[in-house]
Amino acid sequence: MRRHVFLRIADALSNVYPYFQQRVDATGRRGLSPLQKCTVKIRMLAYGVGADAVDDYVRIGESTTIEYLEKFVEDVISVFEDENLRKSKPNDVQRLLQMAEGRGFPSMLGSIDYMHWQ
């Protein structure tokens, strides 16, 4: 992901949703920044790592990471759906299939449950 895209996502989420804002706890210590919170979620999605794997990276507990991963996805869709999400075009699907086949996952789109999209 390009830096400007990542920063745009982190900035937009922190402006709209309180979870993505940095807070100070009762002892006066700063919590995680919006960049740290978004980094964890994007790393999980991009690399398919488990919640316990990112705990060492930014010190977010496993249960907190799991809880907010779904919220992250929903929030990104909510903020950017009109601007960035679109129906795939035939060449997009073909490109994904070629990438998947090159990685050893032929016909990967056949495993996606899309009944609720129709």
Do 91 and 79 lie in one domain? The reply is no
- Opening angle at CA 37, ends 113 and 84, nearest 5: 50
Query: pTM value?
Result: 0.63
Do 66 and 110 lie in one domain? The reply is no
DSSP secondary structure letter of residue 51: H
For the chain, what is the domain count? 2
Do 66 and 113 lie in one domain? The reply is no
Do 78 and 92 lie in one domain? The reply is no
Q: Structural domain of residue 62, as residue ranges?
A: 3-85
Do 81 and 111 lie in one domain? The reply is no
| In contact, 54 and 44? CB cutoff 8 Å | yes
Model pLDDT, residue 87: 66
Per-residue pLDDT of the chain (118 residues; tens, 9 = 90+): 788 888 999 999 999 998 889 989 889 989 888 888 888 888 888 888 787 777 776 777 787 788 778 889 899 988 887 775 566 677 877 887 887 787 776 666 655 544 444 4
Do 15 and 41 lie in one domain? The reply is yes
Task: Tell me how far apart the alpha carbons of residues 5 and 81 are, in angstroms, rounded to a whole number.
Answer: 15
Task: Tell me how far apart the alpha carbons of residues 12 and 79 are, in angstroms, rounded to a whole number.
Answer: 7
Model pLDDT, residue 7: 92
